[in-house]
Structure 1
Amino acid sequence: MFVLLKPRLTVVGVDLGTTYTSVSYYDTSRTGNIEDRIQIVSNWPAITYLGGGLKWGGAIPPNIQRHMWTKLELDAPRTGEAAKICQELLGSGYGSVAGVKRPVDIIADFLAQVLEHLIKNLNVHYTETLWQSFPLTLVVTYPAVWSDLAKALTLQAFSQAGFNEKNLRMPRKTITATEPEAAALYTIMCIRGTAQDKQLAVDDGFVVCDMGGGTVDLISYKVAGVDPTVLEEATIGTGDQCGGSFVERSFLRWLEEKLGEKDFREVAGGPAADISRTSLPARLSKMMQEFTGCAKSGFHGSDTEDYELRLPAPLNAIVCDTSHSIENGEILITSEDLKEMFSYSLQKIGELLLAQIKAAGQKGQVKVRFAFLVGGFAESQYIQMELQKLVINHGVHIIKPLHAWSAIARGAAAKGLEQGGATPIKDRKCRRKHREQESYICYWLISEGQDLPTAAKVHGKVSMHSNFWPGEKRHASPLLLAADIDKAPRRSHVIAVYEVARLRVNLEQVPQRAFRKQNNSKKPYYELHYEIHISVQSGLEFSLWVDGKRYGAVAAEYA
């Protein structure tokens, strides 16, 4: 008798990137280790709105404005390139073309296209009936440095896009993970059994450096246990806008300087500083594609690496112009030119990396042994070699894991597989200070830099009480406040204090016997003493406790 074993599709992981997005799913029908069974569906381009309808990917002409870096608009404040892109879209009136959509709505529209394409892949790989017959775990990733509001908006966008029971039929649960956590998990998965794995001992550390097109994010981990590997966050995550797209902006400035303002305008239609970040003129777009596909991606840093790029019309008719390094319609980019184009990103990434190594090694607690480079920009061999030169004297070795460009999506799938989503991260670092209710003398409920064991059910708790008249609805809505200063403020109106969320506590579920009847000169009322417990996982989780018993989760509306 033959038995057909059905594959059990259990996990879908999504890395919503700033300039690049990828999705992973776990394929149990294949043999081999976990890494080999993780399948990647990628190439999710930007979206645009034309004639009232949504277009994406290859359907968008190169000279049409599109939404880029929209992910960063979920968080505030928007600075640097993210702010310029936002201003550009608003200034062009493009927001009105899109129906004055909020960033969360635009991302939801984009994710809806991602979901549709993912489902097509699953239907081909399995058949619709088969993959929809198994429970699904969805793993959503986001930056470690994001606010709780941005995290909540991310989950809202996924739900709004259709990542729910209606389209996925049997989702078991949704798990969240920080991007460096997913990257760290994938990295550990990659080095198991390798020479690097054997070199890592308890109290050793490594830095995960996620280098995307727009942003670069870093965090350091300490090895807390081996067989299996257990990690603790050794530092608070840091990052900046200095990813691969800044090389392209430098190329445009170089091209303008090389050609001269007049000839550059022939190609670009205006000065380099004014060129749209969300669209390029058609002729310049083709040249940019050749630059990124050949010169940028293939550069190793050798002094003999020169590249010749074909110029668009009418400049491709120039037979020879030595003053502008043009010959037979092609312009020469020297190795020194390329080094200058990489210089801004390289300098900023180097500063961030050295700061992480220094922070991890403070008080001699963690010796950083490796820096693992992941993300699309990590594929640059020039970046890899230059960073290695920078950190070699610190005893740190640069490692680029296999499939570094999709490390976060792969790590997301691995997180969903390990013990039903249990994290290999033992402790996280608190990224800000949360203070208790308004009082004359205040103390930190959770302090910045505090170790937050992921296995702990509660990282902070606050005792509260509420009074209710007979027949009054028993709801409470306290504020959760935070501050980024060292000394706890005495009042909530101090400038440094800001609102994180308003909690919506439903006390109707608490039995009547828990309420104490009080009498005053007017009429009796009921008093309830309760606790709000806070658990800091990938995001904040709140729960209601009365007399040592849990009465469910507490909803939060983020500011």
Structure 2
Amino acid sequence: MPQSYQTQASDDSGKRQEPTIVIGIDFGTTYSGVAWTTSSRPGHINIITNWNAVKSHCSDKEKVPSAIYYDNKGEVFWGYSIPEKISSPKIEWFKLCLLEERDIPKNIRNAAQIQAAQKSLKESNRRVVDVISDYLRELWKHSIVNIRRAIGGQLVDISRFKVIVTLPAIWPAYAQLRMLEAIEKAGILETRAAGDTILEFLSEPEAAALATIKDMCTYSMVNMEVGDHFVVCDAGGGTVDVITYTVIKTDPIRVKESVKGDGKLCGATFLDEMFLTTLRRKLDKVSLDAWKILEEKGVLSRIIHNDWENGIKPQFRNTDQHWLLQMPSSGSSKKRTHDQFRFTDIKISAKDAQNIFKPTVGEIETLVIDQAKTVKRKYKKEPKFLVLVGGFGRQPFLYTRLQDQLNRKKSQEEKTELLQGSGAEPWTAVCRGAVIRGLELSEDTTESTGTTIPVGESVEKGFHRDLVIPATTIETTFIYSTENAPSNRCDETVKELCDVRWSSVPDFDSLPTWINPIGDVIRRVNYDVKMTSNGVTLDFEIIYNNQVMASKKIGIDYGRCGSTVNQALGASGSDEDSGED
């Protein structure tokens, strides 16, 4: 997705800028979060020094579980508000159900979490887009309540909203479009008196990179020089994304993408799956009904929360340490005494822990090493830093493994330094004094060729059409090329993108004329084409005499170099084509 983010100087015109609240939504596979700030320039993400994390409902934490539950009456419970005792399973991991089965790696397709999510969706007779919209609606309502409480309802009511939603870099375009549909259904873009809500999409590794730059700006930039590269690895619950940036300026720091982002479904939750598999195997050796007993006594949830989530998982460092999981006896007594737990402990050895961690960590190693190798091949130098962010990114075993793999057989001067992000706050979209120059229009670029549109902004170009005789309809065809140096002719590298039909035809006799070389009088229609991208769709408008004559919104698969997406934005499942009066 082409992205551009910039700091903006204060307005010297003396005009008062309308207030804007910028809201970042990090919808994750396992946890979600929201952060917000105020800005005086709605068209840009301003110099923002302080993002405010929305506290979770029923909790003081900055992120909330991506889980939802519908009771028998259809009432929605979400996050931490889901009751402990429920009549049917809550729906989790539904974010990944946006993907078609063919796009989920085979080894992950059979994961218990994915299968449970698909089963829950089927049993509830709900589409995944509708479940996501229900979840986002509750998250959004809770966030707005928090923001109103913080700055006052009056300021919220007169402020425009700019919403930035993160998406996995590895998602195919159809999944991005489904996410857009869920956002619209959630009411996030509903009409407000303060003006239209601006929506932009941001890939998750880019969001992580921006948050990382914020930390770098906060501390020291002594070791960062122009031309240095740093890899950002955003390791979350479900997905792990990597991307590499290079520094193009240090004061203030300015960076641009130097290696295309990549990612896999190899987040921390796959460790959970391996742990439960290991535990069940050990319990089966004790008794075939041991697992059932643990579930009935509520001990399994205690083991997962205390021994695993807050014990082995964040602490494992590949040492000789072992862990004892306290088990209840298989007796019929309901009284839980110390003696019941005393002699039936299950041991998780260092070898067990290695077997749990190594497959998933190995996939992350491959992602990171591939990025580093690409930097070396393209730029003849090693990346200077690897920055680990995300919840899983703080795991010590992951840190040491990546450090060993990256710096094996390297001299001291070639070594890549590893940094670990801190905190569990949702990723925010910008940092003070930092600029990511992704693919934005260069200052010295004046031609259409090579122009890339910053997300949330528009590019407008003039065109004309000649008429010899009056026309009853006018259609405009948009074409594209995936070549680095597009052809000036419609050869095999040029392909059709879409057609749009004008809502009306200009009066033929009122059009300006010119005479061609053979003496024919030609009428000319001069018009402008405006194109806007939010990172997932392209919006086209054809403007004649300051009126919109036609518009079209289409999904673009940026990963496939401009090919259109078959899945639709409209209810009918086709591209939206509207002539406006």
Counterpart pick for 2:325 among 309, 315, 331: 309
Change (3 A) 1:303 1:141: closer
**Aligned partner of 2:200 among 161, 175, 184:** 175
Length-normalised TM-score, structure 2? 0.69
Partner in structure 2 of residue 538 of structure 1:
535
Instruction: Confirm or deny that 1:20 pairs with 2:25.
Output: no
Cα-to-partner distance string for 1:60-80 (whole Å, 9 max, x where unaligned): 447843333322333444313
Select between 463-472 and 49-58 the one with higher mean Cα deviation: 463-472
Matched, 1:72 2:91: no
SS in 1 for 2:405: helix
> Structure 1 stretch 388-397 or stretch 530-539: which is displaced more?
530-539
Partner of 2:348: 333
Residue 72 (structure 2) aligns with: 51
The structure with more helix, counted as a fraction of residues: 1
Distance between the aligned counterparts of 1:86 and 1:465, measured in 2? 56
Confirm whether residue 298 of structure 1 aligns to residue 318 of structure 2.
no
**What's the CA shift for 1:161?**
0.7
- Which residue of 2 is the match for residue 95 of structure 1? 121
Q: Tell me the TM-score normalized by structure 1.
A: 0.72
Change (3 A) 1:375 1:269: same
Q: Is 451-460 or 472-481 further displaced after alignment?
A: 451-460
Amino acid at match of 2:428: G
Cα pair distance change 1:49/1:316, threshold 3 Å: same
SS at match of 2:158: coil
Once the two structures are TM-superposed, the CA of residue 332 in structure 1 deviates from its matched residue by 2.0
Map Cα deviations across residues 113-163 of structure 1 (whole Å, 9 max, x no partner): 111221332243344344333332211121223333332322221221121
Aligned 8 A contact 1:232 1:426 in 2: yes
Paired residues of 1:369 and 1:397 also in contact (CA < 8 A): yes
Q: Give the letter aligned to residue 398 of structure 1.
A: L
1:215 and 1:156 map into 2 onto residues whose CA distance is 21
Q: 2:233·2:240 contact (CA, 8 Å) conserved in 1?
A: yes
Paired position in structure 2 for 1:344 = 359
> 2: CA distance between counterparts of 1:364 and 1:126?
48
Name the structure 2 match of 1:432.
Answer: none
Distance 1:183-1:314 versus aligned 2 partners, 3 A rule: same
2:22 matched residue in structure 1: 11
Q: Alpha carbon RMSD of aligned pairs, Å?
A: 4.7
Measured against aligned partners, the alpha-carbon deviations of 1:141-193 in whole angstroms (never above 9, x if no partner) come to 21223333332322221221121345796565223222122111111111115
Report the equivalent of 2:305.
289
Secondary structure at the aligned position of 2:226 is classed as: coil
Equivalent residue for 1:214, pick from 238, 246, 259: 238
Q: 2:91 touches 2:121 (CA, 8 Å); kept in 1? A: no
**What residue ranges of structure 2 are gaps of 5+ in the alignment?**
1-18, 40-46, 56-62, 334-340, 441-447, 484-490, 515-522, 556-564, 567-581
Deviates more, 1:109-118 or 1:330-339: 330-339
Partner amino acid, structure 1, of 2:204: E
- After superposition, give the CA deviation of every residue in 1:335-392 in whole Å (9 maximum; x if it has no partner): 2321221111111111110000111222325641111111111121221222122213
Aligned to 2:559: none
Match of 1:359, SS state, is helix
Measured against aligned partners, the alpha-carbon deviations of 1:476-511 in whole angstroms (never above 9, x if no partner) come to 68798989xxxxxx989xxxx9x9x97463523774
Q: Count residues in correspondence.
A: 484
| 1:555 aligned partner | 553
Distance change in 2, residues 1:536/1:237 (3 Å): farther
Equivalent in the alignment of 1:384: 399
8 A Cα contact 1:310 1:316, kept in partner: no
Q: Which runs of 5+ in 1 are unaligned?
A: 1-7, 271-278, 318-325, 430-444, 484-489, 518-525
Q: Distance in 2 between matches of 1:258 and 1:362?
A: 46
Matched letter for residue 38 of structure 1: N
Shift in Å, 1:540: 4.8
Q: In the aligned structure 2, how far is the partner of 1:515 from the partner of 1:73? A: 55
Q: Could you say which residue in structure 2 is the equivalent of 1:227?
A: 251
Going from structure 1 to structure 2, the CA distance change for 1:90 and 1:118 (only over 3 Å counts) comes to closer
Q: Distance in 2 between matches of 1:262 and 1:398?
A: 43
| Counterpart secondary structure, 2:383 | strand
Give 1:22 deviation, angstroms.
0.7
Tell me: CA distance 1:124–1:540, structure 2 relative to 1, closer, same or farther (3 Å).
Answer: closer
**CA distance 1:458–1:334, shift in 2 (3 Å):** same
Seq. identity, %: 22
User: Which residue identity lines up with residue 554 of structure 2 in the other structure?
Assistant: A
3-state SS, counterpart of residue 64 of structure 2: coil
Partner of 1:486: none
- Residue number in structure 2 paired with 1:411: 428
